[in-house]
Chains A and B, each alone.
Chain A
Amino acid sequence: MPFIANTDEQRRQMLADIGVANAEDLFADIPPELRCGDLNLPAGLTEQEVRYRMQALANRNRTGMVSFLGGGFYDHFIPAALDALVTRSEFYTAYTPYQPEISQGTLQAIYEYQSVMCRLTGMDAGNASLYDGGTAIYEAIMMALRITGRRRVIVDDSLNPIYRKMVRSYTTNLGIDLIETPSFEGLPDRARIEQELNKDTAAVIVQNPNFFGRIDDLSDVAELAHRHGALLVMSVYPIALGILKTPGEMGADIVVGEGQSLGMPVSFGGPYLGFMTTREKYVRKMPGRIVGRTVDAQGRSGFVLTLQAREQHIRREKAMSNICSNEGLCALTSLIFLSLLGKEGLPELAQVCADKASYARKRLLEVPGVTMRFPNKWYFNEFVLNLPMPADRVTRELLNRGIAAGFPLGRYWPEMTNCLLVAVTEKRTKQDIDFLAHALEVILCS
């Protein structure tokens, strides 16, 4: 089947019209070393062959595992009602339409999504979504630079290492002075942060609960940052906000996070959801689309895209960002998820996760040789264990027993080779936890 509609004759005419001998000449300006050359693709397959091939690949996924994996992405229960609603054809597109105001339903959903994100984080205004938790931090950094006119950014290293890596890649060529401060006992090191703060500092970036699962009142870090005219950017795990003090109460200026835990399955490559909320005074410097509520000429309530002059279709190269509404469907998913839980359900869910994690911690510490890496007085649903042998060896063994036991921290912290990050959600039963503890004991004692 020809996927390019125009014929050889039409192509010949077009080339003749613009005075070029062949299509290859159109790419003459691209240096040869930047051309991809021969793609070395195999011969085509039939639809049936492709389907077999994809099925064979899919069969290699191990979906029946008991998972204690976390590290920023969490295995929460997804109610059936969610899929039924989110796949309705009225909603089933990623984007805000190009004539947005004609789609009042889409705009209302985004407006409600923004509102729940503000309620959850304790902030004034939110945007219509970003790509994911990592790019949301990059966008928050750029926003802090615009607000302060400064170029220095301090990142606490208990921020998700994947996010730190993303931030480093995104900012490599932007002339930003990016400082990573080592955490102390698994918490942001206030003294180090204070040392690095100066009049050029735009923002301090922290995470709560942080990558080690520790929870922290970061109000004093906000105060430190503000004393130097810098902003506090906080990345959060939205489920945890069901029971934790909000970033707003702690004095954060920009709050971002990964929204996957709000009704999206854990899957390699997403799609995921970045969210962002901020103080009202910074709203004009916020990236992305914003839906506002207004009244029409007859006083009837309605929704519009607002503050559009910040955006790429008007501001061109001076726009706050080129982000649009790519994750619109994921934003809707998170809204439906939170609506199904309700204002009592979310704290309840958060409490169940915390309680189960508490049981898992107690149970796993009974295994000989297992200790806590940090004096975790306060944690949410994730914690770091010290094992008597390299954690990646243990996880490999446990995989053979059908358990994804957690994330070995040696991959990002060489001094933590024996450390395992374990996450527990409401989906893990007492049996699952006992099964993990038993299997761990067998491996460690053999």
Chain B
Amino acid sequence: MIPQGLLYTNEHEWVKLDGAVGTVGITDHAQSALGDITFVELPPAGKALSKGDEACVVESCKAAASVYTPADGSVTEGNAAVDEDPSLVNSDPYGQGWLYKIAFTDAGALAGLMNAEQYAQFLEEQEH
């Protein structure tokens, strides 16, 4: 089930926009592909990120995946709960398992991202 109201990237990140501040996490598809997540390296608050920069690294037992920045901005917060208990990314990827918040320089730059239907279709195309 892919939640409505979020924006999705090709790299299987989701962004929830609240004004100019976005909350970013990885999708259910991404967490399930990675398997049991054992560690998340979060960006420090205040870190300036450009579109495409590596914002986080999500590690499972035998894999590590980069989480990229969807648009230029500055990190406002990393999710301390995930730092404490990385399995939240598996159990609740769209909720408690969010990764970081970022104040976008221009939230309009997210216009190219997918909505839930488009992402569902994207996943389907990837399957084939």
Binds A, one of B24-32, B59-67, B95-103, B119-127: B59-67
- Please determine whether B62 and A309 come into contact, CB atoms closer than 8 angstroms: yes
Cα-based distance from A309 to B63 in the complex (angstroms): 6
Whether A309 and B66, one on each chain, are in contact in the complex, defined by CB atoms closer than 8 angstroms, is: no
Q: Which residues of A contact B39 (CB under 8 A)?
A: 284, 309
Name the distance in Å between B46's Cβ and chain A's nearest Cβ: 12
Partner of A314, one of B41, B54, B63: B63
A308 close to chain B: CB less than 8 A: yes
A315 at the interface (CB under 8 A from B): yes
A362 within 8 A of B: no
Docked pose: A310 CA to B61 CA in angstroms: 11
Query: Contact mask B35-77 → A, CB, 8 Å, 1/0?
Result: 0001101000000000000100101111110100000000000
CB contacts (< 8 Å) of B63 on chain A: these are 309, 314
Chain A residues within 8 Å of B41, by CB: 284
Interface string of A302-330 (1 = CB under 8 A from B): 00000011100011001000000000000
Which residues of the other chain, B, contact A309 by a CB distance below 8 angstroms?
38-39, 59-64
> Which residues of A, 245-287, contact B by the 8 Å Cβ criterion?
284
B62 — which chain A residues lie within 8 A by C-beta?
A: 308-309, 314
Q: How many chain A residues touch the partner (CB < 8 A)?
A: 7
A244 to chain B, nearest CB (A): 35
Chain A residue nearest in CB terms to B65: A309
A284-B39, A284-B41 given as contacts; is B66 within 8 A of A318 (CB)? yes
A284 and B60 CA atoms in complex are apart in Å by 13
Complex CA gap A310/B57 in Å reads: 10
Complex Cα gap A309–B64 (Å): 6
A320 CB to nearest B CB, Å: 11
| Nearest opposing residue in chain B for A319, CB measure | B64
| CB-CB nearest in chain B for A316 | B64
Q: Which residues of A contact B66 (CB under 8 A)?
A: 318
Looking at B41, B59, B60, B66, the one whose CB has the most chain A CB atoms below 10 A away is B59
In the bound complex, what is the Cα–Cα distance between A284 and B57 (angstroms)? 12
Look across to chain A and name the residue whose beta carbon is closest to the beta carbon of B41: A284
Instruction: Give the distance to chain B from A395, nearest Cβ to Cβ, in Å.
Output: 52
Which residues of the other chain, B, contact A314 by a CB distance below 8 angstroms?
Answer: 62-64
Interface string of B77-91 (1 = CB under 8 A from A): 000000000000000
Chain A residue with Cβ nearest B47 = A149
Residue of A nearest to B60 (CB): A309
Set of chain B residues within 8 Å of A310, measured between Cβ atoms: 64
Complex Cα–Cα for A310 and B38 (A): 12
B34 CB to nearest A CB, Å: 10
Among A351-370, those with CB < 8 Å from B are none
Shortest Cβ gap from A99 to chain B (Å): 13
Min CB–CB distance A92 → chain B (angstroms): 29
Specify the chain B residue showing the minimal Cβ separation from A310.
Answer: B64
Taking the closest CB of chain A, its distance from the CB of B43, in whole angstroms, is 10
In angstroms, Cα B68 to Cα A318, docked, is: 14
**B59 CB to closest chain A CB, in angstroms?**
4
A284 to B41, CA, bound (A): 10
Q: CB-nearest residue of chain A relative to B64? A: A309
Q: How far, in whole Å, are A308 and B38 apart by their CA atoms in the complex?
A: 11
| Complexed CA–CA distance, A290 and B54 (Å) | 25
CB distance from A171 to the nearest CB of B (A): 22
The distance in angstroms between the C-alpha atoms of A314 and B61, with both chains bound, is 10
**How far apart are the CA atoms of A309 and B37 in the complex, in Å?**
11
Q: Please measure, in the bound complex, the distance between the C-alpha atom of A309 and the C-alpha atom of B59, giving whole angstroms.
A: 6
A284 to B38, CA, bound (A): 12
Q: Mark A97-108, 1 if CB is under 8 A from B, else 0.
A: 000000000000
Cβ–Cβ < 8 Å partners of B61 in chain A: 308-309
Minimum distance in angstroms from B114 CB to a CB of chain A: 26
In the assembled complex, the CB of B38 is this many whole angstroms from the nearest CB of chain A, namely: 8
The distance in angstroms between the C-alpha atoms of A314 and B35, with both chains bound, is 14
CB-CB < 8 A to A308: which residues of B?
61-62
Which of A284, A308, A309, A318 gathers most chain B CB within 10 Å? A309
Chain A proximity of B66: nearest CB distance (Å):
7
Chain A residue with Cβ nearest B54: A318
CB-CB < 8 A to B54: which residues of A?
A: 318
* Cα distance, A359 to B59, chains bound together (Å): 56
Q: Give the CA-CA distance A309 to B41 in the complex, in Å.
A: 12
0/1 interface trace, chain A 332-376, chain B, CB 8 Å (1 if under) = 000000000000000000000000000000000000000000000
B-side contacts of A315, CB under 8 Å: 64
| A141 nearest CB across to chain B (Å) | 20
Distance between A72 CB and nearest chain B CB, rounded to angstroms: 35
List of A residues within 8 angstroms of B57 by Cβ:
318
| Assembly CA distance A309 to B62 (angstroms) | 6
- In the complex, what residues of B have CB within 8 A of residue A318's CB? 54, 57, 64, 66
Rounded to whole Å, the gap between the CB of A386 and the closest CB of chain B is 51
Give Cα A308 to B60, complex, Å.
Answer: 10
Q: List 10 A-B contacts (CB under 8 A).
A: A284-B41, A308-B61, A309-B59, A309-B60, A309-B62, A309-B64, A314-B62, A314-B64, A318-B54, A318-B64
**Which 3 residue pairs across A and B have the least CB separation, nearest first?**
A309-B64, A309-B59, A315-B64
Known: A309-B64, A315-B64. 6 other contacts (CB 8 A): A309-B39, A309-B60, A309-B61, A310-B64, A314-B64, A318-B66
